[in-house]
Structure 1
Amino acid sequence: MAKRKEADQAKRKLRKWPWILGVLIVIGVVVAVTSNSGNDATSPPPADVAEPQSGAVGQPVRDGLFEFTVVGVDYQPSVGGPHFSETAQGQYVLVTVRVRNIGDEPRGLSDADQYLFDSNDRRYAADSVAGMAIPNNEVLYTPISPGNGVEGTLVFDVPVNAKPDRVELHDSTFSGGVSVVLG
C-alpha cells in the first residue's frame, strides 16, 4: 500500500510540471510585451540608435562598410567614346563619387543599389550600360581592398526637364543608405 501512495504522489508531481512551465512561459510573454510597449512610432529612438546620415557634395558619408563622397555632378546627352557609346532617352546625370572601403575585406560596389531622386521625389535607377561606356570607370564592380578607395561615375537617365535633388547611396541591397543633396 505504501508503494501505491508513493506512486500516486510521484504522478501528481509530474502532472504539476506542465502547469508550472506554462505559467512561466506566460509570465515571460507578459514581461516581453510590456517592456516593448513604449517603443511605438511616437517614442523617440533609443540614444544608441543613429539616425540615417545625409550630406552634401564634397562631404563624406557612410553606409555599412563604405564611405562615399560625391565630388561632382554633370549633365550629358550621351556618354562613351568612338567605339562604345550610349545616348540618353532624356539626359544623363553623371554623379562622380569617391568610394572608400572602411571594412576588413575586399568589397565591390554595385550601381544597381544606387538611386537618384528628382525634385518631385521620383526615383531613377543607375544605367549600368551607360556607366560601362565611360572609359576607366573604376567604381563599378571593382573589388575595393580594405582602406582603399576608387573614384568613378554613376550614370542616371532622367527626363530633360527633371531637376535632380539627391542621390541615395547604398553599401548593399539591404543597407539603409545615405542621402547626398546635389543642389
Structure 2
Amino acid sequence: MKNNKQNWFMKHKILTVIGIIFMIGIIGSATSSNKTTTSSSTSNNSTTKQDIKAKEEVAKIGTPVTDGKFEFTVKSIECGKSSVGASQYLTKEAQGQFCLLNISVKNTGDAAQSLFSSNQKLLNTQNQQYAADDTATMYASPNSNAWYSNINPGNSVEGSIVFDIPKDQTPITAELHDSAFSGGVKVNLQ
C-alpha cells in the first residue's frame, strides 16, 4: 500500500522535469519582454526628439527643399478665391475658399518620377490637413502640369496646386511629397 501512495512527482518524473523547464521558459520570457519594452521606450524617446528637431526645421517661401527625388520651391500662396477656371465651362466653385500654392518642382534623381498634386497638403494652425483639389488644379492652370506630371531627371515644372479650405482658415504650412509614401518636407507659408 505504501507504494501506491507514493508522491505524484516521484511517479511522474518526466512530466515534472518538463513542467519545470516550461516554468523557467515562461519566467525567462516575461523577464526578457520587460527589457525589450524598456529599450523600445528609450528608442521611442530618441525618435521623438529627432521628430521634434525635424519639425523645428521648416523652410521658408523661396527656399528649395528636397523630398526624395524632387526639389520643391514654393514661390507664393494666394488665398480667398471663390472660383477657378479658364472658361465658363471649365470653372469650379469653392466650398470655402481656394488657395493656390505656386510651386516649382525639379527632378534631382536619375530616373523619371511622377508628380501628383494629391500627394501635397496644406496645414493650418491646429495642424489640420487639407488635400489638394485635383479638378480645381486642372481648371486653374489648364496649360500647367502641376496636378500630374512625369518629370525626367534634371527637368522641372511650375504651376499652381489648388486647395479648397474653409473661409475662416489660414494655411501656415505646406507639406510636400515626392510620393504618397515619402516623409515629406514642410515649408512655412507666413
Q: Compute the TM-score of the two structures, normalised by the length of structure 1.
A: 0.73
Tell me which residue corresponds to 2:60: 56
1:111 is the counterpart of 2:114: no
Amino acid of the residue matched to residue 176 of structure 1? Answer: G
Instruction: Map Cα deviations across residues 113-136 of structure 1 (whole Å, 9 max, x no partner).
Output: 111111222111000110111221
1:98 is the counterpart of 2:104: yes
Tell me which residue corresponds to 1:126: 132
Amino acid of the residue matched to residue 67 of structure 1? Answer: E
Structure 2 spans left out of the alignment, 5+ residues: 1-31
**Residues 100 and 147, structure 1, Cα contact 8 Å, conserved in 2:** yes
Flag the 1:42–1:84 CA change in 2: closer, same or farther, 3 A: same
Deviation at 1:140, TM superposition (A): 2.1
Tell me which residue corresponds to 1:154: 161
Tell me which residue corresponds to 1:26: none
**Residues 137 and 146, structure 2, Cα contact 8 Å, conserved in 1:** no
Tell me which residue corresponds to 2:10: none
The structure with more helix, counted as a fraction of residues: 2
1:165 is the counterpart of 2:169: no
Two-structure CA RMSD over aligned residues (Å) = 2.6
Tell me which residue corresponds to 2:72: 68
Q: Compute the TM-score of the two structures, normalised by the length of structure 2.
A: 0.71
Q: Secondary structure at the match of 1:95?
A: strand
Deviation at 1:107, TM superposition (A): 1.2
Flag the 1:97–1:42 CA change in 2: closer, same or farther, 3 A: same
Instruction: Map Cα deviations across residues 42-68 of structure 1 (whole Å, 9 max, x no partner).
Output: 3379x9xx9476311100000001000
Flag the 1:79–1:40 CA change in 2: closer, same or farther, 3 A: same
1:40 is the counterpart of 2:43: yes
**Matched residue count:** 151
Deviates more, 1:62-71 or 1:136-145: 136-145
**Residues 59 and 69, structure 1, Cα contact 8 Å, conserved in 2:** yes
Flag the 1:38–1:121 CA change in 2: closer, same or farther, 3 A: closer
Q: Secondary structure at the match of 1:40?
A: helix
- Of 143, 152, 167 in structure 2, the residue corresponding to residue 145 of structure 1 is 152
Q: Secondary structure at the match of 1:42?
A: helix
Structure 1 spans left out of the alignment, 5+ residues: 1-28
Distance across 2 between alignment mates of 1:44 and 1:131 = 36
